Structure 1
Amino acid sequence: MTTPESRPPADGPARPEPVVRTAAGSVRGRYEGELAVFRGIPFAEPPVGEARFAAPRPVRGWDGVREAYAFGPPPPQDAGLQGPAALLNLPTGDDWLTVNVWTPEPGPGSGRPVMVWIYGGAYKIGHSGSPGYDARRIARDGDVVVVTLNYRVGMEGFAHIEGAPANRGLLDQVAALEWVRDNIAAFGGDPGQVTVFGESAGAGSIAALLAMPRAAGLFRRAIAQSVPGTYFSDALARDIGAALAAEAGLRPTVADLSAVDPRKLTAAGEALGAKMPGFVDRWGQAAPTVTPYAPVVDGEVLPSMPWQALAAGSARDVELVTGHNRDEFRLFVALAGRLGQITEEQANRALRLYAPGPDGAGAYRAAFPDASPGELYERVQTDWLFSMPTLHLAEAHLAGGGRAHLYELTWPAPGLDGALGACHGLDVPLLFGTFEADLGALLFAGAAPGADAEALSSRFRAAWTAFARTGDPGWPAYDTEQRLVQVLDAEPQVVPYPEDVSRRLWEGHDFAPLPLL
């Protein structure tokens, strides 16, 4: 039920504010331009006290009308790229598990498609209140309802802790999707037309959701942008969990860790992340990622790797768009200050660690005979971490009876005089149109976007929202004969998969959980 109430804004005439009744109670949002916006609506109880490290619990109801004007506080997390100062001015409190809604027309009966955004951040940072995830342009341009959500990251969401369920962050996402199923009609959305979309760890989460029985039926379509192939085996997660707890001088148990303030535990993750490159002999390919968190193939919450689950038909009724950026790993090289500085030995180490097959390093050198050390270093890590997991996800879905559309972003970011190329994360400011916020400020160098950027940004939103509405993003579905892919650039075109050299190198590769060596 929606009831307009007159509450005058401080700087303008009275205008009705939208009030929507959810299953737990009524919430009041605000009109912002053509949209009604609701922020900080709880979808689960705060995961603190007795609920610490537990699966999310249903939110208790409230009386009266709850103001939904401000984003909820972010979950405890590492400082991230922008440093500790970026977290100083954010809301504080324990109500981390909240959703936000942008809707053109609140109230039952509208039945618009619903798009649910799941943020990335290496499973250790991120929150839905980030300015880069302001969804107004998606909701307005596509005439859709957009929901963004918080989920637990880092120690709270993904560390292996004895006595706690695995993948608590994924369980939070399931709980948020259940909230959408039960409540979104009152905001003008169609619960039968839900599309999940996300990037990086958000895309890895979506790949996991496609494989999770608990998520079955909660969404009809999925868009996975730059899917990381990093999932931990139970043994690896257990060992890293013990190391995380040891950084805090504790055992990896609920009893020990629940007595520590959640915000203090983030320091343990940051400390271990800095040490991880020295653990290659123990943690293998996971070590150089400096990310001690990932979804765990625990056999229960996540029964198997997404690639195996999709090939077995786990989500054959879910329509999929997935894709990657051409120069994914260059962002990480740039952030480390190593552009143009990669040595032959560094390239050799990366090839030995990541290239597939018994002589993967030799195969890469033969396949890219003119590549410099820096190009080989980037290529093999782009392929291992994002490009090939993304491609194989589409192919697995196809093998399981599903339909997938594939894309590659090749338009170069203007930041650093174009040296970043089409790097990791570039698709996010293009999709949201948030060129001056968060990562967009780096990738666009603080400059106003040019005509090419604005046109490509509009094209992203048009394709994503068309897919949410119809299942067709505007280019042919992928198959293993023609392998047609939408290339997103200043002049978009549909061509056979551009990274076919890498595709052949990784053909037949089994994406297995990362092991404990």
Structure 2
Amino acid sequence: MRRPRNRIGAALVAGLVGALSLGAADPAAAGREAASSAPSVRGTTVRTDAGWVRGAEAGGHRLFQGVPYAAPPVGELRWRSPRAVTPWQGVRDATAPGSRCAQTTDDWGLPASEAEDCLYLNVTAPSRPARGGGSRLRPVVVWLHGGGLTRGAGSDYDARELSGRGDVVVVTVNYRLGMLGFFGHPGLENSGSFGIEDQQAALRWVRRNAAAFGGDPRNVTLAGESAGSHSVCAQLTSPSAAGLFHRAITQSTPCGAGSFDGTPLRPVLDLPLWLPKASYEGYGQYLAALLGCADPGTAPACLRGKPVTDLLAQQPLPLPGYGNAVLPEDPAKVLQEGRFHRVPVLTGITRDEGTLFAPLISQEPMTAEGYEAAVNTRFGAAGPEVLARYPVGTHDGPPLQAVAAIMSDLDWAWPARDTDLLLARHVPTFSYEFTDRTAPPLLPPPHGIRPLAAHGSELSFLFGVGWESAPLTPAQRRLGDTMIDYWSRFAATGDPNRPGLPAWRRVRPGDGTPYVQELSPGRGGIGPFDRASAHNLAFWDDLAARGTGAGRGAGSGHP
């Protein structure tokens, strides 16, 4: 079945442009609840700690959708930490997703939503007995969706293939987004990262309820891509997340700034990873004034009285804030000092991350002359060296293709290498690079840019995804099967290796150049990958060491 096109791709692009916590009783749920108080269909009706839920079973899977994990954050609960659900009577229907968290629409077809009652999750589990037989519980994978912390939903990811082939229970999660999830204001207690708190609420729900769905609450892997990966990094550093997960998977957003720390060389998309309290509260006061709530004493009540449509018209900076209960310290500092949770990590990027984001640099087609001027403006004295390393003519595309190559190397591969080494000093770390340049893209980039192995292009190899794209070829499906085997083996044991799979070495901090596993279809497509050569990392190291590459023209932070 083909789905509405380009949902997740739109979410990723639009997002950049622009203490109990159980499930919630939906005030409108009375019509969704059956009259009985006991299960009527074996295997599709499960008792959670808040009440019975009835899902659906088909094709060897059990699927439970729209299961509440926290009270609706509406009215006086808007911009408060997630609260416990009110238990319900009878059997709650769990055969349709819950509402998407409030978000605006965009040019690529992502559904809009005005729902604040949105803290729901979805559970996918095989209907057959677990491998190994008996009453063995399966590993649990909790998936945090991408979308720049302003778009998306857990229901955009169909986890049946991952769950069935991988023999894992998969939980996909909604969490508050944008103004409702990451708004900060001095009048709101512990503001700035309510969406991160929601994710922890979902993890606590998993700890209490996973076994009812056949999942092992003592073997939980927290995984995500893009903004979901950014969220996993936040959870790795949050004291209140301790013990809620036992492994971590980060896709296409390295946790650390890597070599950017302490050097004048900055990424093209020069965005912070985390916001300090003074920044997000100061910006929140500015937004409050725009909304007619400038008085600090009355701002919280005033803001809670505003319709959600007014809030969605004023988006905050889509970044987690620290200096609150869930993120008391700068996560970058916590990571750099090695004080994050000691869990194995599987982490990686795609070969051409920048092709999705290069259009953000120039909304109109860029000429060769414009490219040269932009690079010289951005990199100052090092501009001629960058142009020599990334000439327009060698990238088989328009000038923005060269910008995309710079971004892939400088913004993603450079920090990914250093983050791999940072993590490996403390925990088992396995690094990959997805290099299939024929993979279906999230969405075709404009201006004639070739997508190649673009940001998010690995998702359709792991999930059924919520956008229309070309089907995978047989070779690509085989690669997807191998990736699912790696991901699920890592979820089960903390190591992706098992007999029958190509060997995947751990990152060793003493190696200097971390080992990277290439993931590509075809014969020889899986094995060691030379990320340093593919992404010109020695070139960027040299610029950083010489203190060049920091030049910025007036009013221009990037090409």
Bin the TM-score by the shorter chain: 0.7 to 0.9
- CA distance in 2 between partners of 1:339 and 1:420 (Å): 17
Say if 1:347 and 1:308 are closer, same or farther in 2 by CA, change over 3 A: farther
Aligned partner of 2:112 in structure 1 is: 87
Q: Secondary structure of 2:147's partner?
A: coil
Partner of 1:259: 305
Q: 1:366 to 1:337 in 2, by over 3 A?
A: closer
Q: Offset at 1:266?
A: 1.1
Contact kept, 8 Å, 1:486 with 1:494, in 2: the verdict is yes
Q: Tell me if the contact between 1:30 and 1:69 (Cα under 8 Å) persists in the aligned partners.
A: yes
Q: Which runs of 5+ in 2 are unaligned?
A: 1-36, 258-272, 498-503, 546-556
- The one-letter code of the counterpart of 2:505 is P
The alpha carbon displacement at 1:397 in A equals 1.4
1:268 paired with 2:314, answer yes
Give me the whole-angstrom Cα distance separating, in 1, the residues matched to 2:251 and 2:49. Answer: 32
The CA distance in 2 between the partners of 1:303 and 1:350, in whole Å, is: 38
SS in 2 for 1:194: strand
Is 1:238 matched up with 2:281?
yes
The 5 Å alignment of 1:376-395 reads 376-383=402-409, 385-395=411-421
User: How far apart, in 1, do the equivalents of 2:488 and 2:384 lie?
Assistant: 43
Could you say what secondary structure the match of 2:327 adopts?
coil
Distance 1:450 1:418 in 2: 22
Could you tell me which residue of structure 1 aligns to residue 326 of structure 2?
A: 301
Offset, 1:205? 0.4
Distance 2:195 2:415 in 1: 21
Superposed, which structure 2 residues align to 1:194-343 within 5 Å? 194-227=220-253, 230-251=273-294, 253-269=299-315, 292-298=317-323, 300-315=325-340, 317-333=342-358, 341=366, 343=368
Tell me how far 1:34 sits from its aligned partner. Answer: 0.9
Q: 2:540 aligns with which of 494, 502, 505?
A: 505
Check 1:483–1:240 CA distance in 2 against 1; reply closer, same or farther (3 A cut).
same
Query: Which residue of 1 is the match for residue 28 of structure 2?
Result: none
- 1:350 offset after TM fit, Å? 6.2
- CA shift for structure 1 position 336: 8.3
Instruction: Tell me, yes or no, if structure 1 residue 160 matches structure 2 residue 194.
Output: no
Equivalent position of 1:406 in the other structure: 431
State the match for 1:471 in structure 2: 494
Whether 1:396 and 2:439 are equivalent positions in the alignment is no
Give yes or no for contact 1:124–1:153 (8 Å, CA) kept in 2: yes
Match of 2:122 among 84, 90, 100: 100
SS at match of 1:192: strand
The answer for unaligned runs of 5 or more in structure 1 is: 7-15, 270-290, 510-516
How far residue 425 of structure 1 moved from its aligned partner, in angstroms, is: 1.3
Larger mean Cα displacement after TM superposition, 136-145 or 28-37: 28-37
1:296 Cα deviation from its structure 2 partner? 1.4
Deviation at 1:98, TM superposition (A): 1.0
Following superposition, the deviation at residue 360 of structure 1 comes to: 6.0
Give 1:3 shift.
7.2
Deviates more, 1:167-176 or 1:297-306: 297-306
Counterpart residue type for residue 78 of structure 1: T
TM-score of the superposed pair, with normalisation by structure 2: 0.75
Q: 64-73 or 166-175: which moved more? A: 64-73
| Partner Cα distance (1:247, 1:385) in 2 | 33
Q: Is the 8 A contact 1:41 1:98 kept in 2?
A: yes
Residue 47 (str. 1) matches residue 73 (str. 2): yes
1:439-450 matches, within 5 Å, as: 441=468, 444=469, 447-450=470-473
SS at match of 1:268: coil
CA contact (8 A) 1:297 1:304 kept: yes
Structure 1 stretch 211-220 or stretch 333-342: which is displaced more?
A: 333-342
SS at match of 1:47: coil
User: What number of residue pairs does the alignment pair up?
Assistant: 462
Q: Does 1:134 align with 2:158?
A: yes
Q: Which has the higher contact order (CA 8 A, sep 6+)?
A: 2
Measure how far apart 1:214 and its partner are: 0.7
Indicate which of 478, 482, 492 corresponds to 2:526.
492
Deviation larger for 223-232 or 420-429: 223-232
Tell me, yes or no, if structure 1 residue 61 matches structure 2 residue 70.
Answer: no
The answer to whether the Cα contact below 8 Å between 1:388 and 1:503 also exists between their aligned partners in 2 is no
The answer (yes or no) to whether the contact 1:406–1:477 under 8 Å persists in 2 is yes
Which residue of 1 is the match for residue 452 of structure 2?
Answer: 421
The residue identity in structure 2 corresponding to 1:61 is P
Q: Matches of 2:47 and 2:424 in 1, distance apart?
A: 40
Q: Say if 2:349 and 2:416, in contact at 8 Å, map to a contact too.
A: yes
Contact 1:26 1:64 in 2 (8 A): yes
The Cα shift of 1:448 comes to 2.9
Q: Shift in Å at residue 122 of structure 1?
A: 0.6
Shift in CA distance, 359/379, structure 1 to aligned 2, threshold 3 Å: farther
Contact preservation (8 Å) 1:112, 1:144: yes
Report the Cα offset of residue 4 of structure 1.
5.4
Preserved contact between residue 18 and residue 31 of structure 1 (Cα < 8 Å)? yes
Q: Deviations over 1:391-447 (max 9, x none)?
A: 333222123x1121111111113565992111111121222143xx32xx2xx3xx3
Is 1:191 aligned to residue 213 of structure 2?
no
Contact 2:401–2:450 at 8 Å: present in 1 too? no
The amino acid that maps onto 1:154 is G
CA deviation map 1:205-234 (0-9, x unaligned): 001100110111111101000116622233
**Letter aligned with residue 42 of structure 1:** P
- Which residue is equivalent to 1:280? none
Deviation of 1:494 (Å): 1.4
Give the partner amino acid of 1:144. V
- Structure 2 residue identity aligned to 1:459: T
Q: Which amino acid aligns with 1:152?
A: R
Name the CA shift for 1:389/1:203 in 2 (closer, same or farther; >3 Å).
farther
Partners of 1:330 and 1:347 lie apart in 2 by 18
Residue 21 (1) aligns with residue 47 (2): yes
The 3 A distance-change label for structure 1 pair 255 and 19 is same
Q: Report SS of the residue matched to 2:419.
A: helix
CA distance in 1, matches of 2:405, 2:385: 13
Q: State the distance in 2 between where 1:390 and 1:351 align.
A: 25
**Partners of 2:520 and 2:234 in 1: CA distance:** 29
Cα distance, 1:342–1:54 mapped onto 2, change above 3 Å:
farther
- Identity of paired residues, percent? 35
How high is the TM-score relative to the length of structure 1? 0.80
The residue aligned with 1:9 is none
Distance 2:92 2:450 in 1: 48
The residue number in structure 1 matching 2:22 is none
